Structure 1
Amino acid sequence: MRRPMKEINDKKTTTSPKKPHPTERIIDAARTLFFKYGVAAVSTDMLAKEANMSKATMYSRFKSKEEILVAVLDHECKQFFIPAFEAIDNEKDYRQAFINFGVNLLHFLEDPKIVRFDQLMLTQVLENPDMSKLFYKRAYEVTYSHLEDMIAHGQKKGFIKRKETPELLADLLLNSWEGKTYQKLLYGFKTSKFKDHKKHIQTVMAIILEL
């Protein structure tokens, strides 16, 4: 007896949910454990168990816990969206791109996972200074560099009249954007938040960049 065509097609199209790639499972497990216990307290045995795989499988993708930490670091840093600005040739659009960059940055910094990761990296300064330096280079230094490029572009186009170097202006701008609020978040004041992101960004831009 022949089965109905619909029944055959239904069986062909039924698929089980796709399992996360082993590398993704390791990174997710590491994020969970690092955030919960701190980097130093997490062993490779704990990582393998949380990722639901053997240590041999884990080591086939990462040679050490430090490599896993670097992968987690890259994952966190990639979450910050950096807008393109090179093609902007009018002041109104440039100013809006700058505001968007600042607002995105504040939302990023307020994320509890990002705050927790910053706190974890601070604990590495004494235990693993090379790792904390790597975090600075891949997170903060990249942000500073992009901000410097944005400022240099604005100076070249005449949107920013200030004559100070892009490096100095970026330093003043980023530290003023973060300000006391981010410091309080970093030190555990969970109720501390940026009240009006856009207004905060615009005020600092007006004072430092006169933009």
Structure 2
Amino acid sequence: MTLETTQIDVNPTGNKAGRPKSIEKRKRILDAATDLFLANGVSSTSMDMVATTAGVSKQTVYSHFNSKDDLFAAVISQKCGEYQLDKTALLDPNREPKAVLHEFGSRFVSLLRDKQVIAMHRIVIAEGASNPRVAEIFYESGPVSEINLLTEYFYHSPHFTLSEDMARHAAVCLLNLLKGHFHFTEMLSLPCDLSEIDESEHVSRTLAQFFAILDHQAL
């Protein structure tokens, strides 16, 4: 089974206008979808299963999400939101870049170490070959979103003088450095004894490396 992208996924009502959208119900749907995706995989989870687990009608699910693609993307975005990886962390132009990026980096590392995030990475890798759309949605809703956030920061911040292309290179470079060795070991289910203090020191060392790269214009 592949992601539901055929006509069967179209909102059965054909019209979302005027339908009440309870925030609480939306949260229940997202939580149910998260649990089902992690338990069964994305491809094997249907919108009917999500509706049943969330305790709502299928029509209610479609009043919030047009398709399973949309629902999966929202699940990924919700998890990023839990760690406040959004523009608010990068908005203040008066804060020193190292302080701004340390806060952002710490949140990013915590996100990568979230057990649900690690499990979702594994599921996407397992399904990607047979269902590339799963990988595409995950990539666009997660990694690309964070790259775009940092690109905007580096490009518009008065503390940097980077072209838009160089700003994107800087964003990709920083995120890859932040992943570090721990991300690789945890993806392989190998032990990784990393405390909160270790995480903070890792972010500090990473930023030192990153700014050294910037100083040498070696992006």
Give the letter aligned to residue 93 of structure 2.
Answer: I
Deviation at 1:22, TM superposition (A): 3.1
Give the letter aligned to residue 180 of structure 2.
Answer: G
Give the letter aligned to residue 186 of structure 2.
Answer: L
Q: Is the CA contact 2:89–2:104 (under 8 Å) kept in the aligned structure 1? A: no
Q: Is the CA contact 2:34–2:75 (under 8 Å) kept in the aligned structure 1? A: yes
Deviation at 1:38, TM superposition (A): 1.3
Q: Equivalent residues in 2 for 1:11-22 (5 A)?
A: 21-22=24-25
Tell me, in whole angstroms, the C-alpha distance in 2 between the residues paired with 1:198 and 1:65.
Answer: 37
Q: Equivalent residues in 2 for 1:61-76 (5 A)?
A: 61-76=64-79
Asked if residue 41 in structure 1 is aligned to residue 44 in structure 2, the reply is: yes
Q: 1:11-60, CA deviations, whole angstroms, 9 ceiling, x for partnerless residues?
A: xxxxxxxx973333222211111111212232344323212234444445
Q: 1:129 to 1:31 in 2, by over 3 A?
A: same
Asked if residue 149 in structure 1 is aligned to residue 177 in structure 2, the reply is: no
Deviation at 1:110, TM superposition (A): 0.9
Partner of 1:88: 93
Tell me, in whole angstroms, the C-alpha distance in 1 between the residues paired with 2:112 and 2:151.
Answer: 19
Give the letter aligned to residue 187 of structure 2.
Answer: L
Provide the aligned length of Structure 1 versus Structure 2.
Answer: 186
Partner of 2:7: none
In structure 2, the gaps of 5 or more residues are 1-21
Q: 1:51-85, CA deviations, whole angstroms, 9 ceiling, x for partnerless residues?
A: 22344444454454333323322322322313444
Tell me, in whole angstroms, the C-alpha distance in 1 between the residues paired with 2:59 and 2:154.
Answer: 48
2:110 alignment partner, one of 88, 98, 107:
107
Partner of 2:177: 176
Deviation at 1:153, TM superposition (A): 4.9
Tell me, in whole angstroms, the C-alpha distance in 1 between the residues paired with 2:101 and 2:63.
Answer: 43
Partner of 1:165: 166
Tell me, in whole angstroms, the C-alpha distance in 2 between the residues paired with 1:206 and 1:53.
Answer: 50
Moved more, 51-60 or 106-115: 51-60
Tell me, in whole angstroms, the C-alpha distance in 1 between the residues paired with 2:123 and 2:137.
Answer: 13
Give the letter aligned to residue 130 of structure 2.
Answer: E
Moved more, 60-69 or 192-201: 60-69
Aligned alpha-carbon RMSD (Å): 3.0
Give the letter aligned to residue 197 of structure 1.
Answer: E
Deviation at 1:107, TM superposition (A): 1.1
TM-score (norm 2): 0.70
Deviation at 1:102, TM superposition (A): 0.8
2:134 alignment partner, one of 111, 131, 134:
131
Partner of 1:77: 80
Q: Is the CA contact 2:106–2:199 (under 8 Å) kept in the aligned structure 1? A: yes
Identical amino acids, percent of aligned pairs:
24
In structure 1, the gaps of 5 or more residues are 1-18
2:209 alignment partner, one of 204, 207, 210:
207
Larger radius of gyration: 1
Give the letter aligned to residue 53 of structure 1.
Answer: V
Tell me, in whole angstroms, the C-alpha distance in 2 between the residues paired with 1:64 and 1:87.
Answer: 36
